[in-house]
Structure 1
Amino acid sequence: MTDASQQLTERPSETEKIPPKRQVRDAVLSILWVVCATLFLLGVLEGIARFHEIWNPPMRVDLGQGFDESVRLFIPDPEDRRFMRVNPDRLVSFQNQRFRRIKAPGTLRLAALGGSSVNYLQYEFSRLPEQLLPALNGTYNSLETLNCGGLSYGSHRLVLIAREVLQYDLDLLMIYSGHNEFEELQQLRLSGIEQVRIQRIFSRSALYRWIRDFQARRAIGQLEADRQRRELAVSVPDASKAWLHVFTPEEISSRMDAYRNNLETMIKMCRDAGVPVVIGTAPSNLYRPNLPGPEGERFEKEVRPLYEAGKWEEGLNLARRILMEASPRHQSSDHENRIIREVAKKWQVPLADVESAVIAREPHGVPGETLFSDHCHLNEKGNRILMETFLPKMIEALTATPEHAVR
C-alpha cells in the first residue's frame, strides 16, 4: 500500500477523532455567523427603508380597521390640548376635523354616525348652521358637527363610535346607516383583530412598513381597476367580481338581527346619556344597482326591459325583490329599511324617511335614475334632499317635550 492510499484511508478516522466540544463550538459559530449576517442584512435594509421614508412617508394604517375598542376616533390635539382631533391612524376612513374639548356656551354639538354616505356630507354639514340654528329660536348661536362617517363602516363599528362620542357633551346624534352590513363582515374577517398588538410592534420597523405598504398599494390598484371596470361595464354582473363569499340564509338573518340590535343599542346609549337621536332610512340605487352575478344577470334580463318599456312600478317592485334576495348585497334593501322603521317606531325616535323623499323626487319614482352617483351614494342634489329630510326631524328631536324626547 502506498503512502497516498494510506492517507486516504486514514482521513475518515481522523475526522472522527474531532472532540465533541469542538464540533459543538463549530456549530455554534456557524449559527452565530448566519445570525449576524442576517441581522446585518436586515439592518442595512432597515436603514434603506428609513431613508426611503424621508421622501416617501408610510401610508396611514388603521390597525384593526376600527374593530379595536382601545383605539379612539378622537384624541387630544398635541398642538393645542384645548381641542380634540381625529386620531391620525383613523384619517384613512374619516374626515380630518377637530373640536373644543370643553364646549363653548351657546354651542349646539351634533354627531353624525354612518358610513361613507355620511363621510361625503361634509359640504352639507357646512351649510347646516344657517338652516338649523334659526329654527331653534336663538337657543344656540353656533353649531359644531362631528362627522363620524367612516368609509365602509357598518353598525357594528358605529356602536363603538357612538359609545365614544357620547362622552363629548353632545346635543344631538344623527344615524344614517344601512349599506355596509355585509361589507363590514368581510372586513371583520380581514382585519386581523387578534394580531393587532403584534402588528403594532412590527409597524415600528420601516422595512415592515415598506413591505406592508407595497402590498397595500397592489391591493388598492386592483380595487381601482375593479372600480374602473364597474364604471365601464355595460351589464350589472361585472360590478361584484371582488365579492367571493356567498352568505347563507342563516348568515343573512343573523346579520340583520345584529343590525337591529346595534341600532337599538345606539339609541339606548343615547337615552341613557340624555341625548336626542334622529335616524334615517337609506335609499338604494335600484336603477343601476351593484348586484352579484346571478342576481345581476336576472336584473338585466327581467328588470331593465320593464324600465325601458316604461313599466316603472313593475320594474321597481321586481328590483326590490331581487336586491333583498341577493347574497351578498352591497347596499341597503327593503329589509334594512324595514328594520330602521320598526326600530324608530319602537323607541319613538324621529324618523327621517330619506328613501321616500328620494323616490318622490325621481322622475319615474325609481331611486337611482337621477339622484345617485353609484349604487348607494347620493349625488350632490341627492345629498341636499337627504339633509332637507333630516332637518325637520332634528328640530323635532331638539324641541320635543320631555315625555317624547329620547332621554
Structure 2
Amino acid sequence: MAAPDTGGHLFCSAVEYFLKRPLLNSDNDVMISSTLSKNLLAVCAGILLFLVLEGILALAGVPRLADEDRFVGFAGSTPLFIRTEPDATGANIKLNPAKGDYFNRQSFQMPKPEGTFRVISLGGSTTYGRPYTGETAFPRWLELLGNEYAGAGRFEVINAGGISYASYRVARLQQELIDYDPNLLVVYSGHNEFLEARTFDHLKHENLWLNRTRQLLHQSRLYSLLVSLLEGLSSKESSRTILPDEVSVELEGVVGPDFYHRDEDFRRGVLQQYRQSLQDMIDLAREKQVLLVLCTLPSNLSGVSPFKSEHRAGLTGSELEEFDRLFSQGSQALQQNEPARAMMAYRAALEFDDQFALLHYRLGQALLMSGLYDQAYASFVRAKQEDIIPLRALEEMNGIVRELAELNDVPLADVEATFRRVAPNGIPGADLFDDHVHPNIRGQQLVAWVVFDTLVKAQSFPLQIGAWQRMSSTARQLLLKYENAIPERYRALGLWGVGRLYFWAGKYPEAHVALKQAWAELKDIPEIPYKLGTLEVFRGNGAAALPYLNAARQMEPDDLNTSVMLANAYLLQKQAEKALDVLSGLPAGGDNSVGYLSVLGRARLQLGELKSGLDALKRAYDLNQNVPRSTREYAEGLAIAGQLPAAEKMFGRYLQLIQFPDPSKALQRWVKEKGWLTPREWLSRELGEK
C-alpha cells in the first residue's frame, strides 16, 4: 500500500507545484488556470484512487490476467511434490505418487540445508532422461560435475523433467518449484509443443494495437477482477483451451498420426505461446531473484526421417503422378549408391512440390553422400521444418530462445550449436541421439557439459574459467568412467524405450531394429515380442510373427491385443480356423473392440462366410467411422463380397480420411481395376504401402 500512496502523493504534489507557479496574469488566464487546475486535480485524484484500489486488490491476492496463461487453462492442479515425514537422509519432500508416470522419483529436504547449491532442471522427456531414466539424464551428469568441480558446497540437482511436457506445462510447474528455494533453474523445453490439441482462434485476427492495449490492461488487477466477474455472469465459453491436469497426447489416441495435417494458424499460435511461456518463466525467476539458464534444443537431423509428409495444397493429379515418378527415380538411384542421379531426380520433383518433408530428407541424404555438407544440412533442416508431426523443435523455437536470452540478459546454454559443432560433418545424427530428439547417454553428458560451462562463464559459483579449462580433461575422464559402468540391462531398457517410441510414431523399420536388440537382452517383458510380432504382421510375414506373438501370449495369456494380433498372423498364413480359435478364448468384453471385430470379419470372409464377415467389419467401422483403417477394411470386405458400388463409396471415404491427393481421380483408377485388386492391394502398388 505504501508504494502506491507515495507515488500518488508525489504525482499530486508535482501537479500542485506546477499549477501554483506565477505564469498567468490576466483574469481570463486565471479562469483558464482555475479550470485546468480542477481538471488536473480530478485526474490526479482518479489516478490516486486507482493506485489505492490496485494496492488493496494486491493485498487481497487478486491475480492479474498478465500472470495467467492467455492460451490455455487447466482443469485441476495436482502438486508435483508433497511433504512427508523425514526419511533417514532428512528428506521430507517427495514426488507425489500421482505424478509417478511422468516424473522421476526423487526426494529432497526443506528447508534447504545450509551450504547446498540447489538446481532445478525443468523440461520434457529429454530432461527426464528418456529413453532411459533420470540416472543418465543431463541433470544427473550436471550434479556429478557440480559436486566434483563447482566449489559451491553440496551441489544438488532436482530433475523436474516431465514426459511429454510442453513449455506451458513447464511454466506452470515452475510456479510450484520456485518455492523450494532453488539457486538456479535450467530450462530445456520445446520439443513437445505440438503434442496436445488446443485452439488459437482468438489470436488469429487480432490487431497489433489491440494486442498491445490488451497486454497493458492485463497488468491491472482492477481490470482483471472486472473481466473475471463479467465472464462469470456470461454464458459464453472461454476462448482458452482448458487442458486436463495431466498430459493428453493427440498422437496416443485412436486416430494417431492420421489426424495431423498442415495448419499454419496453429503453428503460429504455438510459437506465440512458446515465446510467452519462456518469458513468463524468465519474469518469475527474476521476481524471485533466482538465476535462470535457457537451453537451445538440438535434434537428430540425418538419422531420422520425417514422421509424416503431406503434399502441398493444389497439387493436381498429373503433377502428383510426375512427382511420384521423379521421387521413385531418386529413391532407386539412392539405393543404388548413385547420389548424383538421385539429386537430379529429387530437385526436379521439388519443382512440383517443395513442401513434401520426405523429399527434402532424401535430398539431404544424397547431398551428404556427395560430400556437400552445408547443402545437406539445409535439406535436413527443411525436412524437419516441413514435418507434419513436429516432434522436433522448430528452428523458430531456437531463435526465440536465443532472442529472449539476449533481451533479458539471461545465460544461454547453446546446446544446439554445440551439437552441430561436434557432430560429423556438422550434421547431428545417430552418433549423438538414440531417436529423434533424445540424446544418447554421451549426448546427455554433452548437454550437462554445455550447461555447466555456461554457469562457469556466468560466474554462478566459485569455479573460475581458467581453472575449469585446466580441469576439463579430468572431467571428461570422470564422465567416461561412469558411462562405462552402466549395466547392459539398463541400456537394453533404453532400446526398448526407443523401439516403443518409433512404433508409436509409425516408424516401423527403426522400431524393429531397436526392439530386436532389446529382445536379445530382455526376455521377461511381453510387450517386446508383441511389438516385434506386430511389425511382422504389418510386413505381411505371418510365419515370422507367430514365434514372437506366442512368446508374448505365454507371458500374458489374457492380453486382448496379443491375441488379436496372433489371430492376424494366422490369417496371413491362410489359417482362419486357428485365428477363430484364438479369438474364442478371449475374456468377456473383448469382442466389442475394433481390433477383435476386424480380425473376426476378415477370418469369416476368408472362410467364405460373407454375411457374418461383413457384419463384423461393419460393426468395427460403426464403432468409429473416422478411423481410416476400419474404413479401408470395410471397403475391402465389400469388394471381396462383390458389393462394388458400396465398396467404391466406402473406399472414397477412406481416401478422404487420409487426405489422399486428388481422391476422385484415385477412386476412378481403382474402380477401373476393382475386378482384381482390393483397395489394400491397389494402394500397395500405388504407394508402396505394407
Work out whether the TM-score is over 0.5: yes
> Given that residues 141 and 448 in structure 2 are in contact (C-alpha distance below 8 angstroms), is that contact kept between their aligned partners in structure 1?
no
Matched, 1:257 2:272: yes
Whole-angstrom distance in 1 between the partners of 2:195 and 2:461: 36
Q: Cα distance, 1:102 vs. partner?
A: 1.1
AA of the residue aligned to 2:172:
L
> Given that residues 360 and 382 in structure 2 are in contact (C-alpha distance below 8 angstroms), is that contact kept between their aligned partners in structure 1?
no
Matched, 1:178 2:193: no
| Secondary structure at 1:173 match in 2 | strand
Whole-angstrom distance in 1 between the partners of 2:119 and 2:380: 35
> Given that residues 306 and 358 in structure 2 are in contact (C-alpha distance below 8 angstroms), is that contact kept between their aligned partners in structure 1?
no
Alignment of 1:311-326 (within 5 A): 311-326=372-387
Of the candidates 78, 91, 108, which is equivalent to residue 71 of structure 1?
78
Match of 2:157 in 1: 145
| Secondary structure at 1:322 match in 2 | helix
Q: Cα distance, 1:326 vs. partner?
A: 2.9
> Given that residues 85 and 99 in structure 1 are in contact (C-alpha distance below 8 angstroms), is that contact kept between their aligned partners in structure 2?
yes
Q: Cα distance, 1:321 vs. partner?
A: 2.2
Whole-angstrom distance in 1 between the partners of 2:412 and 2:458: 10
Q: Deviations over 1:321-347 (max 9, x none)?
A: 232233331111211111111111111
AA of the residue aligned to 2:383:
I
Q: Cα distance, 1:194 vs. partner?
A: 7.2
Q: Cα distance, 1:134 vs. partner?
A: 5.5
> Given that residues 455 and 461 in structure 2 are in contact (C-alpha distance below 8 angstroms), is that contact kept between their aligned partners in structure 1?
no
Whole-angstrom distance in 1 between the partners of 2:122 and 2:80: 12
Match of 1:267 in 2: 282
Query: Bigger CA drift: 155-164 or 317-326?
Result: 317-326
Give the 3 Å change call, closer, same or farther, for CA 184–122 of structure 1 in structure 2: farther
Match of 1:355 in 2: 416
Match of 2:301 in 1: 286
Q: Deviations over 1:78-101 (max 9, x none)?
A: 575961111111110000001112
Give the 3 Å change call, closer, same or farther, for CA 291–177 of structure 1 in structure 2: same
Q: Cα distance, 1:394 vs. partner?
A: 2.3
Q: Deviations over 1:198-252 (max 9, x none)?
A: xxxxxxxxxxxxxxxxxx9xx9xx96xx9xxxxxxxxxxxxx9635222521110
Alignment of 1:84-123 (within 5 A): 84-120=93-129, 121-123=134-136
Give the 3 Å change call, closer, same or farther, for CA 337–248 of structure 1 in structure 2: same
Whole-angstrom distance in 2 between the partners of 1:161 and 1:368: 31
Give the 3 Å change call, closer, same or farther, for CA 69–109 of structure 1 in structure 2: farther
Of the candidates 164, 176, 180, which is equivalent to residue 168 of structure 1?
180
Give the 3 Å change call, closer, same or farther, for CA 400–132 of structure 1 in structure 2: closer
| Secondary structure at 1:382 match in 2 | helix
Match of 2:507 in 1: none
Whole-angstrom distance in 2 between the partners of 1:258 and 1:110: 25
Alignment of 1:25-36 (within 5 A): none
Give the 3 Å change call, closer, same or farther, for CA 168–69 of structure 1 in structure 2: farther
Of the candidates 388, 391, 395, which is equivalent to residue 334 of structure 1?
395
Alignment of 1:132-281 (within 5 A): 132-133=146-147, 135-137=149-151, 140-185=152-197, 242=257, 244-281=259-296
Q: Cα distance, 1:143 vs. partner?
A: 1.9
Q: Cα distance, 1:365 vs. partner?
A: 0.9
Give the 3 Å change call, closer, same or farther, for CA 194–127 of structure 1 in structure 2: closer
Q: Deviations over 1:6-51 (max 9, x none)?
A: xxxxxxxxxxxxxxxxxxxxxxxxxxxxxxxxxxxxxxxxxxxxxx
Whole-angstrom distance in 1 between the partners of 2:381 and 2:127: 23
> Given that residues 281 and 340 in structure 1 are in contact (C-alpha distance below 8 angstroms), is that contact kept between their aligned partners in structure 2?
yes
Give the 3 Å change call, closer, same or farther, for CA 195–268 of structure 1 in structure 2: closer
Q: Cα distance, 1:130 vs. partner?
A: 4.4
Give the 3 Å change call, closer, same or farther, for CA 82–119 of structure 1 in structure 2: closer
Alignment of 1:296-311 (within 5 A): 296-311=357-372
| Secondary structure at 1:182 match in 2 | coil
> Given that residues 178 and 336 in structure 1 are in contact (C-alpha distance below 8 angstroms), is that contact kept between their aligned partners in structure 2?
yes
| Secondary structure at 1:395 match in 2 | helix
Give the 3 Å change call, closer, same or farther, for CA 268–300 of structure 1 in structure 2: closer
Query: Bigger CA drift: 309-318 or 383-392?
Result: 309-318
**Identity over the aligned pairs, expressed in percent?**
29
Whole-angstrom distance in 1 between the partners of 2:444 and 2:450: 10
AA of the residue aligned to 2:95:
V
Give the 3 Å change call, closer, same or farther, for CA 319–88 of structure 1 in structure 2: same
Whole-angstrom distance in 2 between the partners of 1:336 and 1:289: 20
| Secondary structure at 1:377 match in 2 | coil
> Given that residues 309 and 388 in structure 2 are in contact (C-alpha distance below 8 angstroms), is that contact kept between their aligned partners in structure 1?
no
Whole-angstrom distance in 2 between the partners of 1:178 and 1:351: 15
Whole-angstrom distance in 2 between the partners of 1:243 and 1:163: 36
> Given that residues 324 and 335 in structure 1 are in contact (C-alpha distance below 8 angstroms), is that contact kept between their aligned partners in structure 2?
no
| Secondary structure at 1:268 match in 2 | helix
Whole-angstrom distance in 2 between the partners of 1:257 and 1:75: 33
Of the candidates 380, 398, 405, which is equivalent to residue 344 of structure 1?
405
Q: Cα distance, 1:154 vs. partner?
A: 0.6
Aligned-residue CA RMSD (Å): 3.2
Q: Which has the larger radius of gyration?
A: 2
Of the candidates 115, 125, 143, which is equivalent to residue 139 of structure 2?
125
Equivalent residue pairs, number:
295
Whole-angstrom distance in 1 between the partners of 2:380 and 2:444: 23
Q: Which has the higher contact order (CA 8 A, sep 6+)?
A: 1
Q: Deviations over 1:286-323 (max 9, x none)?
A: 10244313344313442222222222211111221232
AA of the residue aligned to 2:392:
Q
Q: Cα distance, 1:368 vs. partner?
A: 1.2
Whole-angstrom distance in 1 between the partners of 2:244 and 2:367: 50
Whole-angstrom distance in 1 between the partners of 2:100 and 2:306: 27
Give the 3 Å change call, closer, same or farther, for CA 84–397 of structure 1 in structure 2: farther
Q: Deviations over 1:245-290 (max 9, x none)?
A: 2252111011101100100100100000010001110001110244
> Given that residues 117 and 378 in structure 1 are in contact (C-alpha distance below 8 angstroms), is that contact kept between their aligned partners in structure 2?
yes
Q: Cα distance, 1:126 vs. partner?
A: 3.5
Give the 3 Å change call, closer, same or farther, for CA 194–248 of structure 1 in structure 2: closer
Whole-angstrom distance in 1 between the partners of 2:425 and 2:265: 35
> Given that residues 277 and 397 in structure 1 are in contact (C-alpha distance below 8 angstroms), is that contact kept between their aligned partners in structure 2?
no
| Secondary structure at 1:183 match in 2 | coil
Give the 3 Å change call, closer, same or farther, for CA 195–317 of structure 1 in structure 2: closer
AA of the residue aligned to 1:149:
G
AA of the residue aligned to 1:169:
D
Q: Cα distance, 1:174 vs. partner?
A: 0.1
Larger fraction in helix:
2
Question: What is the TM-score of this pair, normalised by structure 2?
Answer: 0.40
